[in-house]
Amino acid sequence: MKSFANLVTIFLLQSLSLPLYSSCLHQSSSDDSSSPFPSDFLFGTASSAYQYEGAYLTDGKGLNNWDVFSHENPGKILDESNGDIAADQYHRFMEDIQLMTYLGVNSYRLSISWSRVLPKGRTGGINYLGIKHYNSLIDALIRNGIKPLVTLNHFDYPQELENRFKSWLSPEMQMEFGYLADICFKHFGDRVKHWFTINEPNQQIILSYIKGIFPPARCSMPYGNCSQGNSETEPFIAAHNMILAHAKAVQIYRTKYQKAQRGIIGIVVQTSWFEPVSDSIVDKKAAERAISFYSNWILDPVVYGKYPEEMVDILGAALPQFSSNEMKNLKKSKSDFLGINHYTSYFIQDCLSSPCNSGEGASRSEGFALKLDRKGNVSIGELTDVSWQHIHPQGFRKMLNYLKDRYPNIPMFITENGYGQLQKPETTVEELMNDTKRIQYMSGYLDALQAAMRDGVNVKGYFAWSLLDNFEWLYGYKLRFGLFHVDYTTLKRTPKQSVSWYKNFIEQHVNTADLIDIY
Ligand code: FCB
């Protein structure tokens, strides 16, 4: 029976002229018909402040690293764009919540723009208009039955912190981040019950301090071409500060807020599955090393208080050490759950004891494990227009099982998974709207997720990246991940085919067995 709220939604969506009926195109075909998703499973979409909000100088927001980087180096972004307007969610969140309601999701992952809340970090005072904005957004989500899951930091931070002490290269950043976390728990924690500290420290550091293609664009030859930096030392210093900043935020939550607010807190890492390119022992070891230099780099310290052995062995003195106090604190502030972002898989070839071509992964800082798309003529999965995205759902299942074995008993959220469609000069709007490739991708990955859950992996939620097309960092607006298309001249949102598909998937897989229909 349809609830009153559902009827209101249908009415609203009719007036927005969204399709009311879901298509069954490529509906997921898992071999077991009973849904492994428990009734409290979170189905949502994910977003981040810089990629969505726009309003880059509105209501007292300060400049952040991405504002400055994109303004000063337009040529580094594929379409020379920036996030000044992005999807303008700052002004359009009520409309976007209607889209979420239509989609049938019960949760939304968003991030806080640090420089909107603290324009100059700890020293410049709180911007209460920023606090008011997030309060309105959080309240509106909850009023519409959508749980807000909040990431404290998703790649953007006040430029002031870069200028003053080189941001993540300084331990000062731990204090700054702790302060941001405290302010957010204090103002939003009565309603936000799921906190993520930092989004993808691993990916952010590789791009910012090894390759130097994200701000603050620091690296050294041959890793990249930057005016300053050191790709063999700085990445590990920055990661160390991020890990300790995460621990600080967790500690603040545990000691000051968690008991009263009754929420949970964790971190988000980027994961890729790495398949040995051959059965040789050295390639198998290289694949292990590749995972250690990528996701375990962050997860081992936040779960066990120490870096993976492979990193200690290869990096030696370049890898900072945790003092015994820090180690104790890390173990005490163990995450309540792991946030897992996952998009792709690679073959891995050993470069430690075998001759190897240069290429991604082959260097010391990346663990001497070369990433390959193919083994001979066979690709790891369907290759796409984007060099890093290969469609290989089996890798997702393997990754989840690997995480279950390495970090037993810690629940996981799939905080991001999705398909990016590159908009080439010849791509038509129809091609963007008929996004069958995205449906095929999501269908495969959601089947793999169900298989992993049947294997015993404890997953609590799945967040599609992304609700809307948005500013995709170095790809600007040319790489579209949205379920809803955004026309960047009018900012109009229009559902792609994948909206019907995901809506239908959720309807079919939400386990209603123990839900009570009160109407
Ligand atoms: C992830 C980022 C997210 C988005 C997706 C495509 O690494 O966390 O902001 O860019 O990739």
Q: How far is ligand 1, taken at its centre, from the CA of residue 302, in Å?
A: 21
pTM for this model (two decimals): 0.93
* Domain over 42-276+331-341+385-508 is classified CATH 3.20.20.80: yes
The two most distant CA atoms of the chain are separated, in Å, by: 68
Q: For a pocket test of ligand 1, which of 50, 268, 341 has the largest count of ligand atoms closer than 8 A to its C-beta?
A: 341
φ and ψ at residue 12, rounded to 5 degrees: -60, -40
Give pLDDT tens digits along the chain (519 positions).
334 444 344 344 444 444 433 333 444 444 456 889 999 999 999 999 999 999 999 999 999 999 999 999 999 999 999 999 999 999 999 999 999 999 999 999 999 999 999 999 999 999 999 999 999 999 999 999 999 999 999 999 999 999 999 999 999 999 999 999 999 999 999 999 999 999 999 999 999 999 999 999 999 999 999 999 999 999 999 999 999 999 999 999 999 999 999 999 999 999 999 999 999 999 999 999 999 999 999 999 999 999 999 999 999 999 999 999 999 999 999 999 999 999 999 999 999 999 999 999 999 999 999 999 999 999 999 999 999 999 999 999 999 999 999 999 999 999 999 999 999 999 999 999 999 999 999 999 999 999 999 999 999 999 999 999 999 999 999 999 999 999 999 999 999 999 999 999 999 998 654 444 444
Q: How far is ligand 1, taken at its centre, from the CA of residue 465, in Å?
A: 8
| In the chain, domain spans | 42-276+331-341+385-508
Q: Do residues 512 and 518 lie in contact, with contact meaning Cβ atoms separated by under 8 Å? A: no
Q: How far is ligand 1, taken at its centre, from the CA of residue 182, in Å?
A: 25
Q: For a pocket test of ligand 1, which of 472, 477, 480 has the largest count of ligand atoms closer than 8 A to its C-beta?
A: 472
Per-residue pLDDT, 33: 62
To which H or E segment does residue 393 belong?
Answer: helix 393-406
Active site residue 416: yes
Cα separations (Å) of 452 from 15, 464, 488? 40, 17, 38
Q: How far is ligand 1, taken at its centre, from the CA of residue 480, in Å?
A: 11
Per-residue pLDDT, 34: 81
Active site residue 360: no
Q: For a pocket test of ligand 1, which of 473, 474, 479, 483 has the largest count of ligand atoms closer than 8 A to its C-beta?
A: 473
Per-residue pLDDT, 19: 45
Q: Which residues line ligand 1 (CB under 6 A)?
A: 48, 51, 199-200, 203, 270, 341, 416, 465, 472-473, 481
Closest C-alpha residue for ligand 1 atom 10: 472
Per-residue pLDDT, 510: 81
* Rounded CA separation 468/485 (Å): 6
Q: How far is ligand 1, taken at its centre, from the CA of residue 462, in Å?
A: 15
Per-residue pLDDT, 517: 44
- Residues with Cβ < 8 Å from 309, sequence gap 6 or more? 292
Environment class of 30 (CB within 10 Å of its CB; exposed 0-12, middle 13-18, buried 19+): middle
